Amino acid sequence: MDHGRVNRAIGHALRIRRKQSGLTMSQIWDSLGWGVNTYKRTEQGTREISVAEVLEVAELLGIDSEEMLVDIARRLKTGDYPQPSPGRQLRRQLGM
């Protein structure tokens, strides 16, 4: 499984759900006790996040954990998440 795809799908789902809830990123990372960049990279899909962390964010957003996991799985299946730019893909391949 392509971990980059998974990370982008999770990040996209979290971003959409956070915006729907009306919370800011700073409110989320403050409530979770995470660093600023940790949460930003999570939403950007550049950080791997554990299932426990996904469920922690879902709880904070007032979302049923099963609903959140189903949303992420749907995004993975349909490709409904941001794709990396060709430049980013090239830099990753070159180790930059």
Q: Which domains does the chain have, with CATH numbers?
A: 3-93 (1.10.260.40)
Model confidence, pTM? 0.83
pLDDT in tens, 49-64: 999 999 999 999 999 9
9-13, 21-25, 37-41, 90-94, range with the lowest pLDDT:
90-94
Token pair for 65? 């954990």
Q: 22 by DSSP, 3-state: which?
A: coil
Question: Using CA atoms, how far apart are residues 25 and 22, in angstroms rounded to an integer?
Answer: 10
